[in-house]
Amino acid sequence: MAFTTDEVLAGLAELITDETGISADEVALEKSFTDDLDIDSISMMTIVVNAEEKFGVTIPDDEVKNLKTVGDAVTFITSNQA
């Protein structure tokens, strides 16, 4: 079953809140992981690994550096679902 953009955004917000304590309300498509949400590289990789399991996708290590914003991640996940 494919996840919608809203579902992926909500799911990512949940993972981000769990990892960092940032309120889910602050997680929006245009937010930068580093500049806006202040997420460090280890937390980013933790979120990536958890997102892979949650959404059943593979996010290659080389792709992670291209995921600048939450929107980038949502787009990648929605367009790479099995």
Which residues in this chain contact another protein in the complex, by CB under 8 A?
18-21, 42, 45-46, 49, 52-53
Closer CB to another protein, residue 5 or residue 49? Answer: 49
| 2 φ, ψ (degrees, to nearest 5) | -80, 140
Q: CB of 20: closest distance to another protein in angstroms? A: 5
Closer CB to another protein, residue 4 or residue 21? Answer: 21
In a 13 Å sphere around the CA of 10, the CA atoms on its Cβ side amount to 5
Q: CB of 35: closest distance to another protein in angstroms? A: 19
Angle at which helices 5-20 and 70-79 cross, to 10°: 130
Q: CB of 21: closest distance to another protein in angstroms? A: 4
Q: Which residues have C-beta within 8 Å of that of residue 6, sequence separation ≥ 6?
A: none
